Chains A and B, each alone.
Chain A
Amino acid sequence: MIPLSWYLLLSAALFSLGVIGFLIKRNLITVFMSIELMLNGVNLSFVTFAHQWHLVKGQIFVFFVMVVAAAEAAVGLAIIIAIFRTRATLAVDRIDLMKL
């Protein structure tokens, strides 16, 4: 028997690590991986609350998050390939065409 709040704390920790990675990583692909880490952290809290309230819909929401994450990964990596083809770099500091 372990308290349910441990799962929620783990999910919060995973989300924060994802935010830190999003801020400090300078490689476009690693920044994208940090977003996936944040999505996984949120998914864990969805499953935890679905277990707490005995609701199936929480798990179905996680299923939809997975579907959207798969679509997002496919489109995002295609954009990364297109950026690499035109600018020949993956460093986020050099991809600053839209910066003021």
Chain B
Amino acid sequence: MHLVLFIVFAGLCLAGAINLLLQSHPINSALSLVVVMSSLAVLYLLLGAEFLAAAQVIVYAGAIMVLFTFVVMLLNAGREERTLGSRSAKAIGFPAVVAVLSVIATVILKAQGFTPVALSDNITSTADLSKVLFHELLLPFEVTSVLILIAILGAVALARPAHDERRGRTEAGK
């Protein structure tokens, strides 16, 4: 059962990631990224991380991807063009990435002491997670709220039109 679930959702994950690279329109890439993130949520569930699976669906597949599709549609992004830069990036980048991946894969396959995963393994409950998060790591947790606040202010300040552009628009409105 575990094996079947892993193969199905790992396959979906890889297929979505490869489709992200093959599509030339950004909206298709965004939708295949949603597939990758949703199937990763199932893999988290298989590893016993139930809170993270829910957070993955809500935060990543929900909030962040809505933001992405919103921006893609707002800017009316079209097909990407092929240029010289992308051809040289392919020629040099592909061998480098394959080399790095093979090194990582060799290290992983040679490593000893990994216990196999089974469906009956212990599940990290949200209560256990929050005990550590709100006792030992309370300060970092509170600091992230400041980070989010700064990010909201920064996003609003960056995305609003420049001062003279805004004035021109209101004058045109009159």
Interface residues as binary, B29-44 with A (CB distance below 8 Å gives 1, 0 otherwise):
1100100110010011
Contact with A along B79-108 (1 / 0, CB 8 A): 011110110011001100110110011001
Which parts of A20-39 form the interface with B (CB within 8 Å)?
Answer: 20-21, 23-27, 29-30, 32-34, 36-37
- Hey, which chain B residues are within 8 Å of A85, CB to CB? 161-162, 165
Inter-subunit contact A33/B60 (CB<8 Å): no
- What residue of chain B has the Cβ atom nearest to residue A62's Cβ? B52
Instruction: Check A37 against B132 for contact (C-beta < 8 Å).
Output: no
* Contact between A80 and B90, CB atoms less than 8 A apart: no
Residues of B participating in the A interface, judged by any CB pair closer than 8 Å: 2-3, 6, 10, 13-14, 17-18, 20-21, 26, 29-30, 33, 36-37, 40, 43-44, 47-49, 51-52, 55-56, 59-60, 63-64, 67-68, 71-72, 74-75, 77, 80-83, 85-86, 89-90, 93-94, 97-98, 100-101, 104-105, 108-109, 111, 114-118, 121-122, 124, 128-129, 132-133, 137, 140, 144, 147-148, 150-152, 154-156, 158-159, 161-162, 165
